[in-house]
Chains A and B, each alone.
Chain A
Amino acid sequence: MLLQAEAIKSVPGSAHGVQPVIAVDHLHKAYGSTVAVDDISFTVNPGEIFGILGRNGAGKTTTVECVTGLRRPDRGTISVLGLDPRRDRRELHERVGVQLQQSALQDRIRVAEAVELYASFYERPADGRELLATLGLEGSRDHYFAKLSGGQKQRLSIVLALIGQPEIAVLDELTTGLDPEARRETWSLIEGIRDRGVTIVLVTHYMEEAERLCDRVALIDHGKVTALDHPAALGVRSNTSKRVRLTAPEGLDDGLLWALPEVSGVEHHGQDVVVIGSGDLLTAVILAFDRAGLRASDVRPETANLEDAFLALIDEPTQSTPTQMETKR
């Protein structure tokens, strides 16, 4: 389901004959002595949802700020729709819709007023009324920005990112702070935008979000791209860090778990045991307990949350240079 064949443009770089809409080449950006982006390169193909995934402070926002012309890179080149983001800033902003973190509207501006105002900024604005309806804000037209819920604010920011009929939409941490239901709604909206033919750069720190939406994902850590692939391919790799947590039954012998081919580690946390491994770990553990006549209670898989997936993925490149990693934190 995740791997819609037609959605996959290339593995993992650009496909033959497809001109990328964004090309970032050896981007560097430091703030004083803090290196935020350390030699990042990637390309984004037309029509795809490209994910930039990483922890807070990994360098994601700085990267998109450089791509959208808000910051001047220290080194490296960026081309967006053939434009230089700094030099051709105004044209870039006509053609690239951007929703950034830590940005907002005036407290007492009404939704409809904000949409009309932002529409006036562009050469060929979209129909604001229709966009509001598409994003389920028709009933909030007269509400003040400050009175909107978190989900409504995010949906309005999508409306404003799309009001100029952009060819590319850059959406930064769109679902952070939303409840799960609002997050899932936002996901379908993003898929809807892609279906209109808009290329999407999605910045997120949710693994699940990247898996669900993105055609390709660049994992960023400490200002570097540590992996760039289809989310499914990344998922396989992160499976090495699958974890199952359960309350240890009486008389549990760790040897029982270690004997399983799927298991690569066993940890004790008070009453709890955490089994680390790969493959169908959960089934393997339950069956092994059953065979041994033990009753495991409160078994719960700790699914690939980002931290785990990340650690598995970023361990490889950073292990060789641990000192470098420390100095950058």
Chain B
Amino acid sequence: MTSLAIQLSPRRRRAFGLLVRTEITLALRRPVGIIVALGIPFLLLVVFGSIPSTMRASAAFGGISFFTLYVPTLLVFVLLAVGIGTLPQTLATYRQQGVLRRMSTTPVPPSWLLAAQMTINVILAALSITILVGLGALAFGLELPSSVGGWLVTLLSLVLTIAATLGLGLCAAALAPTPQIAGAIQALLFYPLAFLSGLYVPLQEIHSSALSDIAKVVPTGAGVNALHASFLGQSPGVEPLLVLAGWAIVFSLAAARLFRWE
């Protein structure tokens, strides 16, 4: 997609910009996706940041606070929300109603609408994560990575996680024959994957080796593990990054193969 953008004439770039702007306008008119990806994690951050006991270092979490532990989970929650919160249903609706078919008769192919949807979700994720990290650091004393390397690993972890979640969302959109089924797939994927990111119970609190093993190989668990280590200035190791990259590749290839335009 980036190579596509480079080749575009100024006029076609303008068309893509307008397409993105239009999709943002439409998303603001029906802001469920924005509430889930921005509002909910923001509220959770403020709530947990305001409870003194969550801010104290705890031996149970290896000498760090619950809050420090929870921020990576919130970031992964954002990436999960932009990938499968509303994207599959939106795309399935566009397909069923014939929005994609309508575009297929213009010089701009319907794949651009997909690209625009991905773009606005990346923008939403970047905005939400910036707010969470910024507010966490400024208001609640969140410790940020202390080295350039730490930041780079954090960024890499975020990029690989969103590649995996967006890929999963595209797969769900490709497989769902109707918007209703897309909605059901979203819910079926969202809650287990959110659980395995430690949203309800911190991953460190899960004293089941089977569940920990599963968490290590699903995108959300691997994302949290990678982010957790990089926020603490440690190396996350290759394993979670490889897991994320693997999912990103598998989901993208599957979506490209399975997606139907009408």
- Interface residues of chain A, those whose CB is within 8 Å of chain B, are 68, 70, 90-91, 93-94, 97-100, 102-109, 113, 116-118, 120-123, 160, 164
- A104-B94 Cα distance, complex, nearest whole Å: 9
Cross-chain contact A93 with B105 (CB below 8 angstroms):
yes
Bound-complex Cα distance A85 to B94 (A):
25
Given contacts A117-B18, A120-B18, contact A106 B99 (CB under 8 A): yes
Flag if B26 contacts A109 (CB, 8 Å).
yes
Q: Is the CB of A68 within 8 A of B105?
A: yes
A197 CB, min distance to chain B CBs, angstroms: 21
Known A-B contacts A104-B97, A120-B15; A113 and B106 likewise in contact (beta carbons under 8 Å): no
**Is B234 part of the contact surface with A, judged by Cβ < 8 Å?**
no
**Docked CA distance A130–B154 (Å):** 52
Chain B interface helix/strand/loop/mixed:
helix
- Is the pair A108, B29 in contact by a Cβ cutoff of 8 Å? yes
A121 to B101, Cβ gap below 8 A? no
- Chain B residues positioned under 8 Å from A103 (CB to CB): 98-99, 101-102, 105
Interface membership of B63, Cβ < 8 A? no
**Which single residue of chain B is at the shortest CB-CB distance from A94?**
B107
Residues of chain B whose beta carbon lies under 8 Å from any beta carbon of chain A: 11, 14-15, 18-19, 22, 25-26, 29-30, 94, 97-99, 101-102, 104-108, 262
- Residues in B whose Cβ lies below 8 Å from that of A122: 106-107
A164 touches B22 (CB 8 A): no
Q: Are A98 and B105 in contact (CB under 8 A)?
A: yes
Establish whether residues A104 and B99, one from each chain, have CB atoms under 8 Å apart when the complex forms: yes
> How far apart are B6's CB and chain A's nearest CB, in angstroms?
18
11 contacts between A and B (CB under 8 A): A68-B105, A99-B105, A103-B102, A104-B102, A105-B102, A106-B94, A108-B29, A117-B19, A120-B19, A122-B106, A123-B107
Q: Is the Cβ of B99 less than 8 Å from the Cβ of A105?
A: yes
Are B101 and A100 in contact (CB-based, < 8 A)? yes
Instruction: Give B246 Cβ to nearest chain A Cβ, in Å.
Output: 34
Q: Which residues of A contact B105 (CB under 8 A)?
A: 68, 70, 93, 97-100, 103
Closest to A146 in B: B97
Q: How far is the CA of A105 from the CA of B19 in the complex (A)?
A: 13
Q: How far is the CA of A102 from the CA of B98 in the complex (A)?
A: 6
- In the complex, are the beta carbons of A100 and B22 less than 8 A apart? no
A residues within 8 A CB of B25?
113
B14 cross-chain contacts in A, Cβ below 8 A: 120
Distance to closest chain B CB from A93 (angstroms): 5
Complex: A102 Cα to B107 Cα, angstroms: 19
Of all A-B residue pairs in the complex, the 9 with the closest CB atoms, nearest first, are: A98-B105, A103-B98, A103-B102, A121-B108, A120-B15, A103-B101, A104-B98, A104-B97, A121-B106
